[in-house]
Amino acid sequence: MDADALANRLSPGRRYVILATVVLGSMLYSTALLTTSTILPQMQGAMSATQDEIAWAMTFNILATAVVTPMTGWLVARFGSKNVMVWGILLFSLATMMCGMAQSLEGLVLWRIVQGGTGAPVVPLSQTILFDTFPRRQHGMMLSAFGMAIGVGPVIGPMLGGYLTEAYSWRWAFHMIVPVGFIAFIGLRLSLPADTRSDRVELDWTGFLALAAAMAAVQLVLARGVRLDWFESQEIVIECIVAAIAFYVFVVHCLTAPNPFLNLQLLRNRNYALGLALVTIYGMLNFTPMVLLPPLLQQHVGFPDALVGQVIGGRGIGATLGFLAAGFIARLDPRIGMSLGFLCQVASGIWMLNLDLNVGMGTLMWNSVLQGFAIGVIWVPLTVVTFDTLDPRDRAEAASVLHLLRNIGSSFFISLSIAEIVQTTGSNYSRMIEAISPYNVTLTMPWAMGQWDFATLSGLAKISNEITRQAAMIGYLNAFVMYTVVSALALGLVLIVRGKRSGLGRV
C-alpha cells in the first residue's frame, strides 16, 4: 500500500487533529530552548553559578539532543513512530517540570540533559508523521502550515517567559511549557494511528557509544578549560585523551564494520560533505547569540527580563519571515539563498561589533530580526544542496547526521564563545585595574575623574564594577568577532557547492 492510500484511510478531521497536535509537540523544543536562553541570568543568580557554569544548562541540553538525534531511525524501527512521538513528548514535559523544580545547578543540568535527549526525536519525526498522514497533493499546504506554526513558538515563548520571570520566578518559564506538553501528549495518544510492524533494526552500540564519549569529553574540555587553566589541569589532559581515543575508535569502526552507526562513505559525495560543513557552521551561528545576549543585556546593560525576552523573540519573527522568503528563493539556485543568508549573518556580526553598553532596544531588536531572517533563509537551500545528489536510500541516515552536526556545532561554539568571554574579561580587568592608583598622575586631574572617587571604599567599588562592565564588553566583542569570521568563512564554502540537479527544492 503506497503513502497516499495510507493517508486516505484517515478522515480529514483526524488529519488536521494530527497536524495540530504534532505541531504543538514539535514547537515545545524550540520554545524551551529560546525561553531558557532568556532566563539564563536569573538562573545564574539563583544557582550562585558563574557564567560558564550556567552555560552548561544550554550546552549539555544541545549535546544530549545531538547524541540522541541519530538514534531516531533505530528508535522508530524498535518501538514505532507513535510510541516514540507520544512518550517522547510526555518525558520531555516531565523533564521540563523537573527543570523548574531543580534546587541546584547539578540537578538543573541533569534534567536539561534528560529534556534534550527525550525531545530530540520529536522534531525530525514530526515531518515524517505528517508526510504519512497527508496525501501527496496536500504536502505543500501541510508544510506551509507546519513551518508557520513552528515559527510562532520561538516568538511567544521568550516574551511570555521573560514576563513570567520578571513577575514571579525563572521557574515559571519552565512550568508554562508543561501544560502544553500534556495537551500534546493526550492529543497524539488519541489521534495517531497504531504503528505497523516493522523489521527489528539493531543499533551499532560500539559506534554510538564511541561517538557519544568523544562528544562528551570534548564538551567537558571546552566547558571547564578556562576555569582549570586548560592543559595545566590533569582533568583536561585526561578528557582530551579520552576524546581522541573515542573518536579514533568511532572512525575505525565505521570504516570497517558491516553495518556501522554512521556510513562515512557518504562523505565522498562533494555536496553532502560541503553541506555537513555548512550545517555545522549554521548550528554555530544559530544558538550562540541567544546564549550570549541575555547575560550581557541583564547584567551589564541593565535590561529587565521582559525586554530580554522581546529581543530573543525578535529572532523568531525574523525566522518566520526568512522561511516565507525561502519559499520564493527556492525557485532560484540554492547558492543564492545561502549566500544571502550568510551575508545577513556577516552584516549582523559587524553590526554587533558596534554595540556598546549604552545600546538601545531598537538596535537590538532589528539585529535579532536580521539574525533570525538569515537562519530562515539559509535552511531550505542548505538542505536542498545537501541531499540533492544523494541516493534516496541514504537520505534517512544523511538527515540524522545533518541534525547531529548542527547540534554539535551549536554546543561547541557556545562553549568556545563563553570561554573567550570569561578569559578576556579576566585579563582585561587585570590590565585596566592597574591604572587605578594614587600614583597615576592623570587621575588627579578633575577632567579625568569626573564623578568617580577612588578615595573611599564605596567609590572604589563603583569603579571596580564599571571596569568589570567594560572588560566584559571587550570579551563579548571578541566573541562577536568569532561569529562574524565564521559567517564569512561559510560564504567561501558556498561558492564551491554544485548547483542542484533535480527538482528537490521545488514546492
Residues 131, 34 within the same domain: yes
Q: In this predicted structure, what is the pLDDT of residue 197?
A: 56
Give tens-digit pLDDT for 407-437: 778 878 887 888 889 889 988 988 888 877 7
Residue 283 shares a structural domain with residue 242: no
What confidence tens digit (pLDDT) does each residue in 177-223 have? 899 899 989 988 888 887 765 555 677 888 888 988 888 888 778 77
DSSP string, 114-138: HHHHHHTTHHHHHHHHHHHHS-GGG
Q: Please indicate, yes or no, whether residues 268 and 254 belong to a single structural domain of this protein.
A: no
The residue assigned the cell 556501522 is 260
Q: What predicted TM-score, i.e. pTM, was given to this entire model? A: 0.77
Cα 270–chain centre separation = 26
Low-confidence winner among 21-30, 122-131, 296-305 (lowest mean pLDDT): 122-131
For 33, 44, 82, 291, the CA distances from 60, given in Å and listed in that order, are: 12, 16, 27, 13
Q: Does residue 186 sit in the same domain as residue 153?
A: yes
The domain that contains 69 carries what CATH number? Answer: 1.20.1250.20
Full domain range(s) for residue 226? 204-260
Q: Which three cell numbers stand for residue 179?
A: 501544560
User: CA–CA separation, 435 vs 394, rounded Å?
Assistant: 62
- Evaluate whether 314 touches 368 at the Cβ level (below 8 Å): yes
Q: Are residues 160 and 279 in the same domain?
A: no
Secondary structure letter of residue 229 according to DSSP: T
Q: What is the pLDDT of residues 254-306, one digit of tens each?
A: 888 888 877 788 888 888 889 889 989 998 888 788 778 888 888 888 888 77
Domain-terminating residue out of 198, 217, 239: 198
The residue assigned the cell 552500540 is: 205
Percentage of the chain modeled with pLDDT above 70: 87
Same-domain check for residues 298 and 423: yes
For residue 383, the number of C-alpha atoms closer than 13 Å in the C-beta half-sphere is 19
Same domain, 253 and 378: no
Tell whether 267 and 255 lie within a shared domain.
Answer: no
Q: What are the tens digits of pLDDT across the range 369-383?
A: 999 899 888 887 887
> Of 260, 281, 306, which residue sits at a domain end?
260
* Confidence band for 502, pLDDT divided at 50, 70 and 90: very low
Tens digits of per-residue pLDDT, 57-71? 877 887 788 778 778
Looking at residue 197, what DSSP letter applies? P
Average of pLDDT values for 470-486? 93
Q: Are residue 246 and residue 332 in the same domain, yes or no?
A: no
Poorest-pLDDT segment among 30-34, 165-169, 409-413, 464-468? 30-34
Q: Which grid coordinates belong to 341?
A: 543568508
